[in-house]
Amino acid sequence: MGEDFYDILGVSREATTPEIKQAYRKKAAQYHPDVSSDPKAEDKFKNIKKAKDVLTDPSLRKTYDQVGHSQFEQAQKQGGFSNTNFSGNPSDFFNNINFSTGFGNLFDMFSGGPSSAAPMRGKTLTLSLEIDLEDAYSGVAKTIHFNRPESCSKCSGTGHPPDAKTTNCPTCNGSGTITRTSSTLFGQIQQVITCSSCQGERVSYSKTCNSCSGSGVSMNKVEFPFQIPPGVPDSTTFLFQEEGAALKNGINGDLKVTVSIKKHHHFKREGSHIYYSCEIPFQDAVFGTKIKVPTLGGISDLTIPPGTQNGDTFRLSGCGMPQQGRKKSHGDQINKIRIPTPHPSNLSSEQKKTLKSFGKSIGEETKSGIFNKLKEL
Ligand SMILES: [Zn+2]
Ligand SMILES: [Zn+2]
């Protein structure tokens, strides 16, 4: 490989871009595989094209001139410079930085891709949504309404009418990138960044789209339907890839929807279990009974055993929230019993009399019990 890109095109190292282009056209006509009888014409033609592509791109040509032909070719084969090349020499460091940040251009250009290695992304949109516990239990289809920057329909997101004329972007001189130089401990570091005027497109247009003012994006009202699965935990964030904001020459950002569950006036949820508090009259707690309790899945029977104490809990197995990822598996409903004390103003004189005589009979035992305990101390 004795020939460098200048030799391939037969131009001097000082050749201007128009001179290089002219030399390319001549060589290309000579070695075009369709016309040339040279058996190596195809390879030669490829090299001519590559030489022209590099030397007519100001930032690539600068890099090429800095590192030389063999390093440039090697970096291309390896897919970029690695930091193992860094010897601690400031000028090496400089070259590495310059290369690794600016190199996306080179490979993209050879592969015919866009001018920036990693495509830019639109903004991530974040939304929140509140649902009822009942909906979290059964799962629910919801439609959220919001405004979203979308690709402009008038110019198909390009930002200009199809008949707009192009000229080289004056800011970056048509390179699509701008080189920033800053001083560091290692010396000067060059950073190649995407040109903000043309967003790496390398050109400016004679007209801009009057609908989006050239941004390529317009704000639209969106109805976004989505399905919330049964048993969804509180504060779950759903990620919808590329459903966020559009960006000219980029890919859409993501959409994130955080679902929270409203407080319920009867039920309290903890994980897959539901807590419910129910009142039973004193006599039912004494003798035991069967009561009906509401659950998220409907009414259920609950057996209260004789001698139930205030604060006792009874479990209804499988009456809690659906457990995510497990079919037909639910948590439990835990029922806490409350035994309210009746207020005397709500009692008839008959009831008061009965309660007093009951109290008296039970009180004798209690008092003697306490008295015996005191004596023991
Ligand atoms: Zn530009
Ligand atoms: Zn437009």
Rg (CA), the chain: 39
DSSP H or E stretch at residue 282: helix 282-287
- Residues 147-183 have pLDDT tens digits of 999 999 999 998 999 999 999 999 999 998 888 888 8
Q: Where are the domains of the chain?
A: 5-90+100-111, 119-155+210-263, 267-341, 349-376
CB within 8 Å of 205: residues ≥ 6 apart: 159, 160, 164, 165, 166, 214
pLDDT band at 371 (very low <50, low <70, confident <90, very high): low
In this structure, whether the domain defined by 119-155+210-263 belongs to CATH 2.60.260.20 is answered with: yes
- Give the distance (Å) from ligand 1 centre to CA of residue 115: 11
pLDDT given at position 61: 87
Q: Between 326 and 39, where is the model more confident?
A: 39
- Give the distance (Å) from ligand 1 centre to CA of residue 76: 24
DSSP conformational letter for 265? S
pLDDT band at 94 (very low <50, low <70, confident <90, very high): very low
pLDDT over 70 at 69, yes or no = yes
Count CB-CB contacts under 10 A for residue 150. Answer: 18
Percentage of the chain modeled with pLDDT above 90: 51
Protein residues near ligand 1, an ion, with CB under 5 A: 169, 171-172, 195, 197-198
301 exposure class (CB count in 10 Å sphere: 0-12, 13-18, 19+): exposed
State the pTM of this model: 0.58
Instruction: State mean pLDDT over 99-128.
Output: 56
Say how far apart CA 21 and CA 29 lie, in whole Å.
12
Same topology for domains 5-90+100-111 and 267-341, yes or no? no
- Residues 103-113 have pLDDT tens digits of 333 333 333 33
- Give the distance (Å) from ligand 1 centre to CA of residue 314: 72
- Residues 10-65 have pLDDT tens digits of 999 888 888 898 898 888 888 877 777 778 888 888 889 889 988 988 888 888 88
Decide if 31 contacts 45 (C-beta within 8 A): yes
Residue 249, Ramachandran bin (φ over 0: left; ψ between -120 and 50: alpha; else beta): left
Nearest to 295 by CA among 319, 279, 263: 319
User: Which is it for strands 255-261 and 125-131: parallel, antiparallel or unpaired?
Assistant: parallel
Q: CATH homologous superfamily of domain 5-90+100-111?
A: DnaJ domain (1.10.287.110)
**Which ligand has an atom closest to residue 199 CA?**
1
372 φ, ψ (degrees, to nearest 5): -65, -40
Q: Which amino acid is at 369?
A: G
Say how far apart CA 137 and CA 294 lie, in whole Å.
14
Q: CATH homologous superfamily of domain 267-341?
A: Urease metallochaperone UreE, N-terminal domain (2.60.260.20)
**Which ligand has an atom closest to residue 197 CA?**
1
pLDDT over 60 at 74, yes or no = yes
Say how far apart CA 193 and CA 190 lie, in whole Å.
10
CB within 8 Å of 42: residues ≥ 6 apart: 33
Q: Which of 76-85, 159-168, 187-196, 314-323 has the lowest mean pLDDT?
A: 76-85
Q: Between 377 and 119, where is the model more confident?
A: 119
pLDDT given at position 107: 35
**Which ligand has an atom closest to residue 193 CA?**
1
- Give the distance (Å) from ligand 2 centre to CA of residue 369: 90
Say how far apart CA 106 and CA 75 lie, in whole Å.
10
79 φ, ψ (degrees, to nearest 5): 85, 25
pLDDT band at 265 (very low <50, low <70, confident <90, very high): very high
- Give the distance (Å) from ligand 2 centre to CA of residue 113: 23
pLDDT given at position 2: 63
pLDDT given at position 190: 82
CB within 8 Å of 352: residues ≥ 6 apart: 344
pLDDT over 80 at 88, yes or no = no
166 φ, ψ (degrees, to nearest 5): -115, 145
- Give the distance (Å) from ligand 1 centre to CA of residue 171: 5
pLDDT given at position 374: 57
